Amino acid sequence: MARRCLSGRAAPSRLGSRSVTDVRSDPYAAASSAARRLAELTGVPRHDVAVVLGSGWRPAADLLGDTTAEIAMTDLPGFAPPAVEGHAGKLRSVSAGDHRALVFLGRTHLYEGHGAAAVVHGVRTALAAGCRIVVLTNGCGGLRAGWSPGTPVLIADHLNLTAHSPLAGARFVDLTDLYASRLRALCRDVDPTLDEGVYAQLPGPHYETPAEIRYLRTIGADLVGMSTALEAIAAREGGAEVLEAGRSAASRMGELLSAVLARL
């Protein structure tokens, strides 16, 4: 199984001007506060599409459109500094044709120890900023023998094996159509060679044993990683359409996403 090796471990950190306790206790208010500050710092009152770029995907950001503002995530309430190599910890406001995209260069992972609410704080901030389409990317491991490293794969479904949910209380969200078929069809129009698969999220930060890999294949997983499933659930809760892709070379995915944004 080909994996992109990451280095770095979680370190204690302060989350912007609101503590992790604030994000956990009132995540929606924290997201609204971050969205207001985002509008002030970027000068953009509303964004349409959020794009979360996983580790090693920064080159894709330069292909999405014209960057009109770039800020550190920690300039917004509730965001932790990056704890993993390859995650820049930046936010870009990008003009992509008729759309305004909010591009996250990095994310918070569950294994950093801040809790599920902090993991999905970026997605919830994007929703509060107006985004109704959320594109998630990651660098993950492939479980199909025919996939070489860097193969782009659209995620059609997931297995949340983290034992966590970003939803609090009696918030019942239907996930049967979590990954939007409309957006996946747009991607295949641009690149008909794209494969699809089921993604399994584990908590990490350790990688899987051979026995765990056999188990994951048995239960139907095609890909495995340490991010994005919780973010997808939070995006669906907020009424957004979700597109998720893993394992692709950054430049190829940047070209794909740029073409898809033009067709939205």
Place of tokens 């239960």: 219
Q: Is pLDDT of 84 > 50?
A: yes
Given a contact cutoff of 8 angstroms between Cβ atoms, the answer to whether 102 and 93 are in contact is yes
* pLDDT tens column, 192-246: 999 999 999 999 999 999 999 999 999 999 999 999 999 999 999 999 999 988 7
| pLDDT at site 86 | 52
Q: Is pLDDT of 259 > 60?
A: yes
Task: Over range 2-28, report the average pLDDT.
Answer: 52
| pLDDT at site 176 | 93
| pLDDT at site 17 | 45
Could you give the C-alpha distances from 149 to 5, 107, 157, in angstroms and in order?
12, 22, 21
- Which run of H or E residues covers position 66? strand 66-72
Give the residue with greater pLDDT, 152 vs 159.
Answer: 159
Q: Copy the structure tokens of residue 101.
A: 């995209």
Q: Is pLDDT of 128 > 90?
A: yes
* pLDDT tens column, 30-50: 999 999 999 999 999 999 999
Instruction: Read off the pTM.
Output: 0.89
Q: Is pLDDT of 53 > 50?
A: yes
Quick check: helix, strand or coil at residue 213? helix
Q: Where do the domains of the chain lie?
A: 20-263
Taking the C-alpha atoms of residue 115 and residue 254, their distance in angstroms, rounded to an integer, is 30
Burial of residue 215 (number of CB atoms within 10 Å: 0-12, 13-18, 19+): middle
Find the Cα–Cα–Cα–Cα dihedral 67, 70, 76, 78, rounded to 10°: 80
- Banded pLDDT at 7 (limits 50, 70, 90): very low
Fold type of domain 20-263: Rossmann fold (3.40.50)
| pLDDT at site 257 | 86
The number of beta carbons lying within 10 Å of the beta carbon of residue 32 is 17
Q: Give percent of the chain with pLDDT exceeding 90.
A: 67
Q: Is pLDDT of 258 > 70?
A: yes
In this structure, of 55-59, 138-142, 197-201, the range with the lowest mean pLDDT score is 55-59
* pLDDT tens column, 244-257: 887 666 777 788 88
